[in-house]
Amino acid sequence: MVPIVQLRYAYRVYPTTPQRRALARVFGCVRTVYNDAVAARRKARAEGLPFPSTAALDKQLITRAKRTPERSWLSEVSTVPLQQAQRDCHQAYRNFFDSLSGKRVGAGVGPPRFKRRSHRQTARYTRNGFRLKTNGRLYVAKVGDLKVAWSRELAASPSSVTIMKTPAGKYFASFVVCVDDGAERLEPLAVPDAETAIDLGLKSFAVLRGGKTIDNPRFFARLERKLRKAQRELSRKTKGSNNYGKVRIKVAKIHERTRNLREDWLNKQVKALVGENQALYAEDLCVKGLSRGRAAKSVHDAAWGRFLSKLESKAVRAGRTFVKVDRFFPSTRLCSGCGALTGPAGLAQLNVREWVCGCGAVHDRDANAEANIRLEGRRLAQAAT
Q: 199-223, pLDDT tens digit by residue? A: 998 889 999 998 899 999 999 999 9
pLDDT of 125 over the 80 cut: yes
pTM above 0.85, yes or no: yes
Give pLDDT, residue 183: 75
> Active-site positions?
199, 283, 366
pLDDT tens digit sequence for 42-92: 999 899 998 888 899 999 999 999 999 999 999 999 999 999 999 999 999
pLDDT tens profile 12-37: 999 999 999 999 999 999 999 999 99
With b for 16 or more beta-carbon neighbours within 10 A and e for fewer, the 365-384 pattern comes to: bbbbbbbbbbbbbbeeeeee
Q: Which of 6-10, 186-190, 348-352, 359-363 has the lowest mean pLDDT?
A: 348-352
pLDDT digits 0-9 by tens, 240-285:
899 999 999 999 999 999 999 999 999 999 999 999 999 999 998 8
What would the mean pLDDT of 109-124 be, rounded to a whole number? 91
Judged against a pLDDT cut of 60, whether residue 128 lies above it is answered with: yes
pLDDT, residue 271, reads 96
pLDDT above 60 (res 314)? yes
Residue 359's φ and ψ, nearest 5 degrees, are -80, -5
Domain boundary assignment for the chain? 4-180, 195-384
What distance in Å separates the CA atoms of residue 162 and residue 176, rounded to the nearest whole number?
8
* CA atoms of 204 and 170, how far apart (whole Å): 33
Residue 351 scores a pLDDT above 90:
no
Those residues whose C-beta lies under 8 Å from the C-beta of residue 184, and which sit 6 or more positions away, are 317, 318
Mean pLDDT taken over the chain: 91
- For residues 313 and 101, give the distance between their C-alpha atoms in angstroms, rounded to a whole number: 27
